[in-house]
Amino acid sequence: VGVETMAAALSEPRDAIEDIIEPFLIQCGYLQRTPRGRLLTSHAFRHLGLNEPSRDPAQIGLFGGANDE
């Protein structure tokens, strides 16, 4: 998900997302930044009590993680 989409969904300015919210979620292990956008981690899905969706094998990165940087 792109930062503009997140900002619109949360009704927060883009700067607040990038400077405050996103670093906190990354530090907690809930969010991963990729070249194609942001992804919730397995840890985030467990925390929310949701089943993690299956990932397209074509999007698995070189080291086994989705969209590895």
What are the backbone dihedrals phi and psi of residue 41, each rounded to the nearest 5 degrees, phi first? -85, 170
Assign 11 a pLDDT band (cuts: 50, 70, 90): very high
Residue 69 or residue 1, greater confidence: 1
Q: What is the pTM for the complete model shown?
A: 0.67
Digit-coded pLDDT (tens) for 25-58: 999 999 998 888 888 999 999 999 999 988 766 6
Cβ neighbours, 10 Å, residue 16: 12
Domains of the chain: residue spans and CATH: 3-59 (1.10.10.10)
Measure the CA–CA gap between 34 and 47, rounded to whole angstroms.
21
Rounded to an integer, the average pLDDT of 5-14 is 92
